[in-house]
């Protein structure tokens, strides 16, 4: 047998040996051994040894900020959301089955506890011009209804007197209603600041902890027994797609802002300040990932892929390609030439 034939026979034997390691129980033993070895090694590796802030920010720059998001991703997101909203299961599933009352109660309790934020929000709302216009128009409409809508009176006798009074006033001043409306509008416009301040105090007095709890309980009584199909009926497919497009466009612009990158860097820096000196293994396990979990998930994903790679011949071709250069090298030829 020539040296070339010997080298070829060694290559074939090595390839078969490697392939045997991917068959049957050998694959599971290999995964367990390699994962165990990796976790043991990571126990002595600090996060700072293998990664850093600039490295992670580089990944974020490439994969988040500058990444060109394919239109297919947005399309798939829209189709997936539409499939959820149109699922046949929505006809039977109730809101309280998907969103338990305990979670709803926790949200309500948190809202109740945000009194400073609630007061500040009402204060900011009361200062807006839109709010002042709404308050003035509501008052104007209410006063005009009381003056010129006799149905607001109590019994039949009261309604009759109200009709007579309004009719008499209109004969004295033919354009009375418009005159009163214009005068009332001017008076309310001059007092928008007082109206806003007064209405704010009313809101602060009314929208208290008891009000929020009662409102939450009332909302839950209505929502809990509803089927998801009833809830989703108020949003059609086109509305849903529009919301997704709006959110998608917002994300594309937001990720490019200096604010996003600055805040992201602060978060990454805080992460490394907190965990940089810890071992990578302890960090992984703090996140709820242990050795057995990695073994189980790795095997679950690897097994069908490796089996198909074996059957198709792909794995053998890759292993042979990896070792062939060595067995045909001058170094191997020299070693074989020295053999008796």
- Whether the per-residue pLDDT at 111 is higher than 70: the answer is yes
- Whether the per-residue pLDDT at 232 is higher than 70: the answer is yes
Give buried/exposed letters for 280-314 (b at 16+ CB in 10 A, else e): bbebbbeeeeebeebbeeebeebeeebeebeeeee
Higher pLDDT residue, 174 or 271? 271
CA distances in angstroms from 13 to 17, 271, 308, 314, listed in the order given = 6, 49, 22, 17
pLDDT, averaged across the chain: 84
Instruction: Single out the residue of 318, 330, 315 nearest to residue 7, CA to CA.
Output: 330
Q: How far apart are CA 261 and CA 61, in angstroms?
A: 8
Region 108-114: mean pLDDT is 80
What pLDDT is attached to residue 152?
46
What pLDDT is attached to residue 175?
64
- Whether the per-residue pLDDT at 306 is higher than 50: the answer is yes
Helices 129-148/192-206 angle, 10° precision: 90
Q: Per this entry, what is the length of the chain?
A: 340
User: Could you read off the pLDDT of 55-93 as tens digits, one per residue?
Assistant: 999 999 999 999 887 777 777 877 888 888 888 888 899
Phi–psi pair at 279, nearest 5 degrees: -70, 150
CA distances in angstroms from 116 to 5, 208, 266, listed in the order given = 84, 11, 27
Q: Record the pTM.
A: 0.68
Q: How far apart are CA 316 and CA 120, in angstroms?
A: 68
Q: Are 47 and 280 in contact (CB under 8 A)?
A: yes
Higher pLDDT residue, 178 or 295? 295
What pLDDT is attached to residue 338?
76
- Whether the per-residue pLDDT at 228 is higher than 70: the answer is yes
> What region does 87 belong to: left with phi over 0, alpha with psi -120 to 50, or beta?
beta
**Given the structure tokens 């198709």, which residue do they identify?**
312
Region 227-249: mean pLDDT is 81
**Given the structure tokens 């690897």, which residue do they identify?**
302
């Amino acid at each position: 047998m020539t040296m070339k034939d010997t080298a070829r026979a060694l290559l074939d034997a090595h390839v078969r040996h490697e392939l045997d390691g991917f068959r049957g129980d050998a694959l599971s033993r290999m995964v367990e051994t390699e994962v165990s070895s990796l976790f043991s090694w990571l126990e002595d590796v600090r996060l700072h040894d293998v990664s850093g802030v600039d490295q992670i920010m580089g990944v974020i720059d490439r994969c988040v900020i500058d990444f060109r998001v394919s239109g297919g991703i947005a399309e798939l997101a829209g189709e997936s959301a539409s499939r959820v909203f149109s699922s046949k299961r929505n006809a039977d599933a109730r809101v309280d089955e998907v969103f338990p009352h305990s979670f709803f109660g926790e949200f309500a309790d948190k809202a109740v506890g945000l009194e400073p934020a609630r007061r500040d929000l009402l204060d900011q709302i009361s200062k807006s011009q839109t709010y002042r216009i709404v308050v003035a128009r509501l008052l104007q409409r209410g006063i005009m209804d009381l003056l010129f809508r006799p149905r607001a009176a109590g019994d039949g006798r009261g309604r009759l007197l109200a009709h007579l009074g309004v009719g008499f006033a209109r004969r004295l001043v033919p354009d009375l209603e418009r005159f009163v409306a214009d005068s009332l509008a001017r008076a309310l416009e001059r007092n928008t600041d007082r109206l806003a301040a007064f209405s704010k105090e009313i809101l602060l007095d009314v929208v208290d902890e008891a009000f929020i709890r009662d409102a939450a309980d009332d909302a839950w009584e209505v929502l809990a027994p509803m089927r998801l199909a009833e809830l989703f009926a108020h949003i059609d497919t086109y509305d849903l797609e529009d919301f997704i497009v709006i959110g998608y466009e917002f994300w594309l612009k937001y990720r490019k802002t200096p604010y996003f990158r600055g805040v992201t860097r602060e978060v990454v820096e805080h992460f490394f300040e907190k965990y940089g000196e810890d071992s990578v293994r302890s960090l992984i396990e703090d996140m709820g990932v242990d050795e057995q979990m990695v073994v189980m998930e790795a095997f679950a994903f690897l097994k069908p892929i490796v089996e198909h790679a074996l059957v198709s011949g792909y794995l053998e071709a890759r292993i042979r390609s990896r070792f062939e250069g060595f067995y045909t090298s001058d170094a191997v030829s020299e070693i074989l030439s020295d053999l008796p």
